[in-house]
């Protein structure tokens, strides 16, 4: 998995590495050793989720043995401050915008909050149950003002709760015809974007639950690409967004069903989607499918983790955004992809790649 703030982090099997794109310095941090319980049989401890806070103060990892690790940044080194044992496998993990809480979603549908305090040790009993779904939780998002928590599941539902009072349900955003894959609040707004297995990208007013607009990503719209011959890429019937990020009001996303990146501008005025901007596409030269992407926020750079059965590579793209001064629109275009060469093959060979596109 990839995650980023000012630096980029990549999970390996039992460790993670971080590097600075400007100087190429790479640091590795290993998870603590563990005595494996009998319930896990011969499973090898492997990081399943990795996330870093917006300012780079905290980092958290979850593994396949239901363990959660919390690190704090001290002089550009990661210090382990807490290790928790959870009841269920973690399905999504992220920090609140203020870095005051870590949100944990598990495969039973429950959402937990772990309040972060640098001066106070953290224990299992500090986990607070916020809300729950009746299906596997697939993703979560918090508005930048931390007023609303959005959560979604495999049964097509999006729930909007008040973050400070999670028992208060603000609205439900209903309309997807398949599982909901990703959620995200457009910066400085109460508008939520969702993507799902039905191939739609939808925009919602989270306070009312009203769908402002939906855009169907047709596979015929995506560039026709031949996929690397040694990939286990299974093209789905729909173009499913697997990850997206915001650069102001520009959306950048990658797909489960096509090895491309897409960027487009959204303009919303008075609760109406005025325009879905023109789409800009890019891909790697070898057409390797994306396993994950991350946004390095300080220079609008997208890092892509691409993989096949035999190889793993990291690529870097700069997204160029030009706003029009006379009208609320912009043009977006990609620069030429670059291979991230500061990461050695010895690290890349440790990346646990699981292509689950079927």
Q: Mind listing the pLDDT tens digit for each residue in 80-119? A: 999 999 989 999 999 999 999 999 999 888 999 999 987 7
- The secondary structure element, H or E, covering residue 173 is strand 169-174
Nearest Cα to 58, choosing from 90, 21, 97? 97
Contact 106, 98 (CB under 8 A): no
pLDDT at 358: 32
Q: Where are the beta strands (DSSP E) in 75-120?
A: 77-85, 90-95, 101-106, 110-115
Task: With H, G, I as helix, E, B as strand and everything else as coil, classify residue 96.
Answer: coil
How far apart (Å, rounded) are the C-alpha atoms in residues 166 and 352? 35
How far apart (Å, rounded) are the C-alpha atoms in residues 191 and 175? 16
pLDDT at 76: 86
Q: What is the pTM of this model?
A: 0.89
Nearest Cα to 304, choosing from 331, 280, 338? 338
Stretches where the chain sits below pLDDT 70 are 34-42, 224-237, 257, 353-358
pLDDT at 78: 95
In order, the DSSP letters of 270-326 are TTEEEEEPPPEEE--TT-PPEEEEEEETTTTEEEEEEE-SS-EEEEEEEEEEEE-SS
pLDDT at 185: 97
How far apart (Å, rounded) are the C-alpha atoms in residues 18 and 303? 13
* Domain ranges across the chain: 221-358
- DSSP type of residue 39: G
* Residue 261 bridge partners (DSSP): 254, 282
């Amino acid at each position: 998995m990839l995650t980023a703030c000012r630096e980029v982090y990549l999970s390996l099997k039992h460790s993670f590495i971080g590097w600075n794109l400007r100087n190429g310095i790479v640091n590795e941090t290993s998870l603590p050793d563990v005595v494996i319980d009998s319930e896990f049989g011969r499973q090898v401890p492997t990081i399943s989720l990795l996330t870093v806070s917006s300012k780079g103060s905290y980092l958290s990892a979850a593994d396949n043995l239901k363990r959660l690790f919390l690190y704090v940044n001290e002089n550009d080194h990661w210090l382990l401050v807490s290790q928790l044992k959870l009841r269920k496998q973690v399905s999504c993990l992220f920090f609140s915008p203020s870095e005051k809480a870590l949100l944990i979603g598990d495969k039973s549908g429950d959402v937990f909050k772990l309040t972060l305090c640098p001066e106070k040790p953290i224990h299992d009993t500090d986990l607070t149950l916020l809300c729950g779904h009746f299906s596997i939780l697939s993703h979560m998002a918090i508005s930048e003002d931390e007023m609303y928590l959005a959560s979604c599941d495999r049964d097509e539902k999006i729930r909007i709760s008040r973050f400070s009072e999670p028992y208060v349900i603000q609205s439900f955003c209903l309309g997807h015809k398949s599982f909901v894959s990703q959620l995200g609040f457009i910066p400085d707004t109460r508008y939520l974007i969702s993507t799902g297995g039905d191939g739609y990208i939808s925009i919602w007013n989270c306070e009312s639950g009203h769908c402002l607009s939906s855009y169907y990503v047709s596979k015929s719209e995506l560039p026709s690409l031949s996929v690397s011959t040694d990939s286990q890429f299974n093209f789905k019937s729909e173009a499913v967004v697997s990850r997206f990020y915001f650069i102001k009001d520009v959306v950048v996303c990658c797909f489960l069903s096509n090895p491309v990146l897409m960027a487009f501008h959204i303009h919303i005025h008075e609760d109406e989607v005025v325009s879905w901007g023109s789409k800009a596409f890019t891909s790697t030269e070898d057409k390797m499918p994306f396993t994950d992407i991350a946004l390095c926020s300080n220079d609008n750079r997208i890092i892509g983790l691409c993989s096949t059965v035999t190889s793993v590579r990291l690529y870097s793209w700069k997204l160029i955004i030009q706003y029009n001064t006379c009208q609320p629109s912009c043009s977006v275009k990609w620069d030429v992809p670059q291979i991230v060469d500061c990461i050695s093959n010895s690290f890349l060979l440790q990346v646990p790649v699981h292509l689950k596109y079927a």
